[in-house]
Amino acid sequence: MLDLLYHRRSTRKFLDKPVEVEKVKQLITAGLLAPSSKNNRPWEFLLVDDADQLKAMAYTKPHGSSFLANAPLAIIILGAPGKSDVWVEDCSIASTLIQVEAESLGLGSCWVQVRNRSHDEEISAAQYLRRHFDIPADMEVLSIIGIGYKGQERTPLDDDDLIWSKVRKNSYDSKMKF
């Protein structure tokens, strides 16, 4: 598991190659297996593999979503606030598990933040997607995970990237040493 986590880096360049249906199913399975508060499972997953739709999704935000134009697959992570007051946490966990599963399947992925982000001065990023995909009013949008075969090599993280000073033990003013 740690080896996989060292190697998972955000991928924003993809090969022009579709993700096989069996792998798509495994990605969604990872999301559906996510733990959630009180087992409310407030998430839903909207798969997009249509090139024109993906190009439209690239305009979700002025920055940080353009790479979706060249992704073969994106999963919109939706949450139902009416089902859980911690839908953000639940949807974040599902997003992360999908990213980790992508890495384990030899795929690259990158999170696009949607919640609390703007499309332009008038509408939110979520409203832009809501209109485009007819997302019902009782569902919110947390994120989009862009996924595909990696079209870029990224250096894996290593032990020098680990900020051990963030770790404390028993009391906040004591550092943890291993």
Ligand X SMILES: Cc1cc2nc3c(=O)[nH]c(=O)nc-3n(C[C@H](O)[C@H](O)[C@H](O)COP(=O)(O)O)c2cc1C
Task: Name the residues that contact ligand X, by CB under 6 A.
Answer: 9-10, 12, 64, 110-113
Q: Which residue is nearest to ligand X (CB)?
A: 64
Cα 156 to Cα 152: distance, rounded to the nearest angstrom: 12
Nearer to ligand X, 28 or 64 (CB): 64
Nearer to ligand X, 20 or 162 (CB): 162
CB of 82 to ligand X, least distance (A): 23
CB of 162 to ligand X, least distance (A): 12
* Secondary structure class of 116 (helix, strand, coil): coil
Residue with tokens 């291993």: 178
- Name the nearest CA neighbour of 136 among 40, 29, 32, 46: 46
Nearer to ligand X, 57 or 137 (CB): 57
* Secondary structure class of 141 (helix, strand, coil): strand
Nearer to ligand X, 21 or 108 (CB): 108
CB of 150 to ligand X, least distance (A): 12
Cα 114 to Cα 21: distance, rounded to the nearest angstrom: 26
- Name the nearest CA neighbour of 81 among 144, 143, 145, 137: 137
CB of 27 to ligand X, least distance (A): 17
